[in-house]
A and B are shown apart, each in its own frame.
Chain A
Amino acid sequence: MLAVRNVSKAFGADANRYSALEGIDLEVSEGEFVCLLGPSGCGKSTLLNILAGFEQASGGTVEFEGAPVRGAGRDRVMFFQDAGSALLPWLSAEENLRFALRVRKLPRESWPAIIDKYLTMVNLKDHRHKFPAQLSGGMRQRLQIARALAVEPKVLLMDEPFGALDALTRRRMHGFLLDIWRRTGKTIVFVTHDIAEAVTLADRICVMSVGPGSRITEVISVGLPRPRDPGDPGAARIFKHVESLLTFMEAA
């Protein structure tokens, strides 16, 4: 579904040129849950921005359903960590969804049913008239999910979406996201630096090296039944393995 071939990304020119990504190859199939995992500054967010179409690769090709990616589109919706900035804070929960439907150019008659459907899916129906600032961090992220789903994207691109939440809320959001993923069958590319999070969620984990010139150094198929507990022997083994990869990287 998403095909990244030999992609590189550099910022600046000449002496100030910084190579963020080099030789990135990645295939994501439909309905797959892929995690991009790496330490801060490894270029994983840059790669996600390229997939979204916000930034252009300096070299290589990025294809979505066989066609090269040119700019952002609602088939690949990005999901940000800072929901307070990503949402429109002057609109209520319901109005934020309405905004999405408005730019999607759906006929007005269909709006109430769609808004109901997605607010119900994320358990925010009782909070529809609240503004983002009146919602908790977890609720804001759920609202962002509902708004993204309302434009019926094929891919969800998530940039450390739960990084700012407390551990308990994050755990709950993991279960919640997996539930939505199962019910909607969306393809998800999820950026994180949290090994446990990647092991809990992903079908495949792509481990990235530190910049400059980050690459995907190893791809791990998790292949464990869900729901997973990071303490289970299978999950723990993968956790240890990824951890040693990252530690080795740091030492190098």
Chain B
Amino acid sequence: MRAPLLFGASIVIAFAAWQFLSSFVFNPFLIPPPLVVFETAVPMVKSGEIFQHVAISLARVGVGFVTGSAAGIVLGVLLGRIRLVNDLLDPVIELLRYLSPTAMIPIAVIWFGIGETSKYFLIFWGTFFIVLINTTAGVMRAPIIRQRAAECLGANQLQIFLLVVIPSAAPYIVTGMRIAMASSFMSIIPAEILAADSGIGYLLQISSILLQTNRIFVALLTICVIGFIFDRLFRMAVDRMLSRYMSYIALT
């Protein structure tokens, strides 16, 4: 009971401080007070404009995140398990992972245009490396004792892999996906600012050109709320489906 109360209090205090500062300290045009921002938001919500942008951005994050995670898990497992694959690919991955999705925007636009594909690619790019590196770490750190124990009970290599190594790596994989999801929500914005005609990032960009600071703040708040909600949803889904693989870490 205490935690939700404090959470609410924290939000209320922040909004009060924001209202005070923008009304009395700073220029209210540059930092529109929350009440003005809400006034701006109401018609955007009523007309459905904001939901359209949110839906488009979410679809892009969804496609890129799911494909990027799938590819990252598959390759990550191979890298963690097969020495030769690791030796061959690890140096390349170590170099490529410094190319953030933002750095890849210019070339993505040339390769894929400003349509959906370039956004899918950019989110895929960001997700893939994070999930890959975490999956590899998880597979490599599956306790050798646990694998040996299974081996002398009679498990074959495939059983050790599927029933011991992968479940042992699950917490790492899930953590990687959670970080990748946060990063996806961050990298979709620059992608849409620079190369899109829809989405939250586009809303930010066009409002900036038109000097509509209150609309910019609506978009920024929307990003906060969406990111927060999806992280919670992800955690709830993990708790539902994978809790037995996650919880033991805290207990042992």
Determine if A134 and B251 form an interchain contact, defined as CB atoms under 8 angstroms apart: yes
Determine if A132 and B248 form an interchain contact, defined as CB atoms under 8 angstroms apart: yes
Determine if A85 and B152 form an interchain contact, defined as CB atoms under 8 angstroms apart: no
Determine if B248 and A131 form an interchain contact, defined as CB atoms under 8 angstroms apart: yes
B145, B153, B251: the one within 8 Å of A74 (CB): B153
A190 on the B face (CB < 8 A): no
CB within 8 Å of B: which A110-167 residues: 131-134, 147-148, 151
Binding stretch for chain B, among A12-20, A26-34, A86-94, A174-182? A86-94
Chain B 212-252 interface mask (CB, 8 Å, partner A; 1/0): 00000000000000000000000000000000110110011
Instruction: For the complex, give the distance between the alpha carbons of A99 and B151 in Å.
Output: 12
Give the bracket for the number of chain B residues in contact with chain A: 20 to 34
B143 on the A face (CB < 8 A): yes
Chain A 44-83 interface mask (CB, 8 Å, partner B; 1/0): 0000000011100000000000000000111011101010
Instruction: For the complex, give the distance between the alpha carbons of A164 and B197 in Å.
Output: 63
Nearest A residue to B248 via CB reads: A89
Chain B contacts for A90, CB-based, 8 A: 167, 170, 244-245, 248
B143, B148, B154: the one within 8 Å of A78 (CB): B148
Instruction: For the complex, give the distance between the alpha carbons of A126 and B145 in Å.
Output: 27
Would you call the interface of chain B mostly helix, strand, loop, or mixed? helix
Chain B contacts for A91, CB-based, 8 A: 244
Determine if A103 and B153 form an interchain contact, defined as CB atoms under 8 angstroms apart: yes
Nearest A residue to B146 via CB reads: A85
Chain A contacts for B40, CB-based, 8 A: none
Chain B 59-82 interface mask (CB, 8 Å, partner A; 1/0): 000000000000000000000000
A85-B146, A88-B146, A88-B164 known; A77+B248 contact, CB < 8 A? no
Chain A contacts for B244, CB-based, 8 A: 90-91, 131
Chain B 138-155 interface mask (CB, 8 Å, partner A; 1/0): 000001011011111111
Distance of A56 from chain B, by nearest CB (Å): 14
Determine if A104 and B153 form an interchain contact, defined as CB atoms under 8 angstroms apart: yes
A84 on the B face (CB < 8 A): yes
Chain A contacts for B103, CB-based, 8 A: none
B208 on the A face (CB < 8 A): no
Distance of A72 from chain B, by nearest CB (Å): 4
Determine if B148 and A72 form an interchain contact, defined as CB atoms under 8 angstroms apart: yes
Instruction: For the complex, give the distance between the alpha carbons of A99 and B154 in Å.
Output: 10
B163 on the A face (CB < 8 A): yes
Determine if A89 and B252 form an interchain contact, defined as CB atoms under 8 angstroms apart: yes
Nearest A residue to B154 via CB reads: A74
Determine if A78 and B152 form an interchain contact, defined as CB atoms under 8 angstroms apart: yes
A245 on the B face (CB < 8 A): no
Determine if B164 and A85 form an interchain contact, defined as CB atoms under 8 angstroms apart: no
> Which B positions have Cβ atoms within 8 angstroms of A?
143, 145-146, 148-156, 159, 163-164, 167, 170, 244-245, 247-248, 251-252
Of all A-B residue pairs in the complex, the 9 with the closest CB atoms, nearest first, are A133-B251, A89-B248, A74-B154, A103-B155, A86-B149, A72-B152, A85-B143, A90-B244, A85-B145
Q: List 20 A-B contacts (CB under 8 A).
A: A54-B152, A73-B152, A74-B153, A76-B152, A84-B252, A85-B145, A87-B146, A88-B146, A89-B252, A99-B153, A100-B154, A103-B153, A103-B156, A105-B154, A131-B244, A131-B248, A133-B248, A133-B251, A134-B251, A148-B153
